[in-house]
Amino acid sequence: MAKQKKKSARPTDNEFHAGNAGELHQTTGERDSTLTTNQGVAISDNQNSLRSGERGPTLLEDFVLREKITHFDHERIPERIVHARGSGAHGYFEAYGDLSELTRAAFLCDPGIQTPVFARFSTVAGGAGSVDLPRDVRGFAVKFYTQEGTFDLVGNNIPVFFIQDAIKFPDLVHAVKMEPDRGYPQAATAHDTFWDFVSLMPESWHMILWAMSDRTIPRSLRMMEGFGVHTFRFVNAEGESTFVKFHWRPRIGSASVLWDEAVKICGADPDFHRRDLFEAIERGDFPEWELSVQTFDQATADSFPFDVLDATKLIPEEMVPLQPIGKMVLNRNPDNFFAETEQVAFHPGHVVPGIDFSDDPLLQGRLFSYTDTQLSRLGGPNFHQLPINRPRCPMHNFQRDALMQMEVPKGRVNYEPNSLDPASVRENPDAGFTTHPATQSGDKLRVRSETFMDHYSQARLFYRSMTAPEQDHIVNAFAFELGKVETPEVRCRVLGHVKNVDAALCDRVEQALGMQGQAYNIPPAVEPIDMAPSPALSLLAKAQPTLEGRKIGVLVSEGFELAILDQLLASAEAEGAAVERIGPHIGEVKSNSGVAITPNHAIAGAPSVLFDTVVVAVSETEIDALKKQAAVLNFIRDAYAHLKIIGCTAASTPLLEIAGIDLDDGVVEVDTSEGTIAYVDAAKQGRIWPRAAAIKT
């Protein structure tokens, strides 16, 4: 028999002493279930920040919020905790006109100036070494180096967020990151902790529908929309305030890949998005976005069936149309990835006169969190002195010393007011930033406003605004994600929320999982309403025919017809598309006229998932050799399965038949100039969606 261990006279860490007598003040059992601060103070409410009134600003005295976010911000050094994997580029912003009626921000009021910018796009959940195409939200952050100081518009490619209050952000990220006991999955939401968390947070369900949509597997960073997420304020020279939401729209349109493509792209080219952005800028195909705003007054905000301070809600464009105010062009790649893309420090609190904050509780918490994060990530409070973070206008103050000080401040005076240096800098009431004097009053409360309680209406709006193919993709995404969840109760709880969003959607997801009738009954806090569908929320509904910025992959072999390739190159160039040649190997390939070309890729390293549309232009004499190469047959089969337009020469048709391809309307012969025109016109339409039913994508 094993010896029985003596019970230690020393209390455990979970036991509390009273005075010096060593008397237990509270037993372990009584404290084990109580959430506390790092100082052992019991927390009464871990769901809401402390604010002045139900809809008022968050208070700095909220030590629970500050401790929680401070600890979270410093968990990783030096990699970003979220948005670690990013790509960036330099460029400029131009205003279309004078916006002084709405804002005094100079860079928005002078169409004659180009404001330098640096933009960074990123995934959220994965580490810096993860892949570019997981199913994930994308960061969309732009640093404007204006003549009045730096303005950072720090948003995402989705207009809403998972949570309503910043105090929940550490919980969200902990849940979505790798599970702590096993260290996986990387850059993925398809696991128990994430779905457990969101199944217990009804406020997340609008964002969940976006996350399960094609928005989280974008074709290119150049084809993403961007959003400021929060409601901000414009303030004009007279001090008049107007609420504003920011939207970025890519000039070449938005597009996404299919899930099966995303999976294969991650294996074929983990740097797919990074490479695409870099190479587009290098070849002079500069990405461009239009900046638009939705502006509205308090009376309009009060008329909405949702709260504009709730970051889980958007304003449909049918309610408040977009007003284009300028454009951004990215025309220069970084000289050094680390010095610029990695060290750039964004902050939603970096605003200029004329742009101000709302009382959105998620935004209010971010105003603290971002600076706090940079202290760890960039070594101290002088991160603004790094070249990528320096303002491009004069900067003077009396802040001194500290870690990583790179300046040599001169003079005797390092304080204000002073009389020893009459020429030293002073505050400027006329030109300086002034906060809009919004009247606030109310008790100090930890409470969620009743106006934040409708969690399903906009999720329903989003789903019902999608086209049929997009709805299919949402169903498939839920089936994949929940199929990875091991805990049955979590799946049933998730299905209960899906049922509140849309009963038909729930039925389809249940059927896909083989869990018919197992959705839990989850009574909503507020009964959802049916809002009019918004076609602007759908990528496919508003897609315009184009090949601009797209990539065509042309498979050639020895003896290919040079005239056909030249014809394709000319047609693609006229449409703004790029053509890349794929050979059986990376060495020279000779045409039927004896002219040699050097392929951009060997077929073994260039699957069709890397291209928007493909052309098979091999010679008849090479068919027997090519049909024995799995990479060649998979190139064709995947293009067909991914609903892409396939151009082919007559000589190549037997190879398509060997690959088992039905010659439908999406397969176009390109032997003649008329055929090439027909192929280009078809490819401009994107995918052949009717094909999906036949091959069950």
Residue numbers annotated as active site: 83, 156
Q: What's at 186, amino acid-wise?
A: Q
The pair of structure tokens assigned to 212 is 């399960």
Q: Is 301 exposed, middle or buried (0-12, 13-18, 19+ CB in 10 A)?
A: middle
Alpha helices in 180-324 (DSSP H): 192-199, 205-211, 259-268, 272-282, 298-303
Strands 444-446 and 50-52: antiparallel
Q: What's at 524, amino acid-wise?
A: P
The pair of structure tokens assigned to 614 is 């493909």
**Residue labelled with tokens 């279309």:** 96
What does the alpha-carbon distance between residue 375 and residue 421 come to, in Å, rounded to a whole number?
Answer: 31
CB neighbour burial string for 130-141, b if at least 16 within 10 angstroms, e if fewer: bbbbbbbbbbbb
Q: Is the dihedral of CA 477, 479, 485, 491 positive or negative?
A: positive
Yes or no: say if 416 and 400 are a contact pair by the CB < 8 Å rule: no
SS3 238: coil
What does the alpha-carbon distance between residue 312 and residue 207 come to, in Å, rounded to a whole number?
Answer: 7
150: closest CA among 405, 390, 329, 339? 390
Q: Is 165 exposed, middle or buried (0-12, 13-18, 19+ CB in 10 A)?
A: buried
287: closest CA among 224, 373, 378? 224
Query: What is the three-state SS of 523-539?
Result: CCCCCCCCCCCCHHHCC
What does the alpha-carbon distance between residue 72 and residue 64 come to, in Å, rounded to a whole number?
Answer: 12
The pair of structure tokens assigned to 96 is 């279309």
What does the alpha-carbon distance between residue 258 and residue 687 come to, in Å, rounded to a whole number?
Answer: 10
Q: Is the dihedral of CA 135, 263, 668, 680 positive or negative?
A: positive
Q: Nearest 5°: CA angle at 74, between 68 and 75?
A: 90
The pair of structure tokens assigned to 251 is 């000039």
Sheet bearing 551-556, strands edge to edge: 601-602, 578-583, 551-556, 613-617, 646-648, 667-669
